[in-house]
Amino acid sequence: MNKLYLGGIIFTALMLILTYLSVGGSKGGLNDDIVNMLAITGAVALVIITVFVVIKYVRQMQIDSATGELVDENWDGIGEYKNSVPTGWAVMFLLTMVWGMWYWTIGYPVNAYSQIGEYNEDVTVHNAKFEAQYKDITGDRLVEMGESLFLAECKVCHGINADGIDGKAANLNKRIDAASVKHVLEKGSNNKLMGMETPMPDRSGLFNANTGALITDAEIDTVSAYVANGMSGEGADIFAGACSMCHGADGKGMEFVAPNIAAYTPALVSTVLTHGKKGSIGVMPKFERLNDKQKEAVGAYITNISK
């Protein structure tokens, strides 16, 4: 027997044995598990087809010579033959498409069992139980729950003391800093801080009613420091003329119009956790793995520690 064929047979047998041991030795093995059965069937087919194709073309390179009619076009004297598609390749291509359609519709349809689907169902059930068990929790217990969640989910970026780890994330011990205010005034914002699409315009749409003109760089710097300083100090007149019509005279916002920029609220924090937020130092991701009560708890905790 030709050494090439013998080597192919030995290699095929070895690969099939290893595949069987790998799948058959896993939890559940091949018994009553259609996914494992389909996996090993596909593996067997791939091994056999691959070895067959490799042997065929290696053997062909050993004994065949190029023949046939060349196409009219050539590239630097290199042309192609007018050879038809190899029958074996065409048949395998069609069988692969048939296999794919069978796999997705009958063998393992898209609505069949999946670990991801089971996980999502379990999470939904767990969240429903969690909401029912803790729906009435308020006050100090809610803050304690929020602290535990903060230490588990938020301290990686914001630090164990919620100080933002030297500017890597927002310092949650205070509502907002001057750099963040300035960023929003200059570039606008559409972070869904009201839980909906209520974009704040950039500086091209900010007028100071006191001067009747667009807000200036100096006014932006002054009012940014004013807001960051807890709505106190120099800049009250600029805030009144350019910001209070949406955020209110005290900066506590207006429902459906603008968020509270004077202090954190559980609802504000919950909205940020739901939608994420883009600011002067980067993008905070959504926290979809937290349920509504957990987000409320984190909001209660941050509201409790912030100034």
Q: Is 71 helix (H, G, I), strand (E, B) or coil?
A: strand
Rg (CA), the chain: 33
pTM for the structure as a whole:
0.63
Number of Cα atoms under 13 Å in the Cβ half of residue 9: 6
Q: How far apart are CA 52 and CA 128, in angstroms?
A: 55
Residue 31: pLDDT band by 50, 70, 90 thresholds?
low
Residue 252: pLDDT band by 50, 70, 90 thresholds?
very high
User: For residue 32, how far is the Cα from the chain centroid?
Assistant: 35
- The residues pairing with 254 across neighbouring beta strands, listed in sequence order, are 258
List, as one string, the DSSP characters of 192-244: -TTSS--PBP-GGG-EETTTTEEPPHHHHHHHHHHHHTTS-STTHHHHHHHTH
Give the residue among 179, 175, 203 at the shortest CA–CA distance from 259: 175
Give the pLDDT confidence of 152-169 residue by residue, as tens digits. Answer: 999 999 999 999 998 899
**Does residue 69 or residue 137 have the better pLDDT?**
137
pLDDT of 32 > 70? The answer is no
**pLDDT attached to residue 27:** 54
Residue 131: pLDDT band by 50, 70, 90 thresholds?
confident
- Sign of the C-alpha dihedral computed for residues 193, 198, 204 and 208 taken in this order: negative
**pLDDT attached to residue 38:** 75
pLDDT of 86 > 90? The answer is no
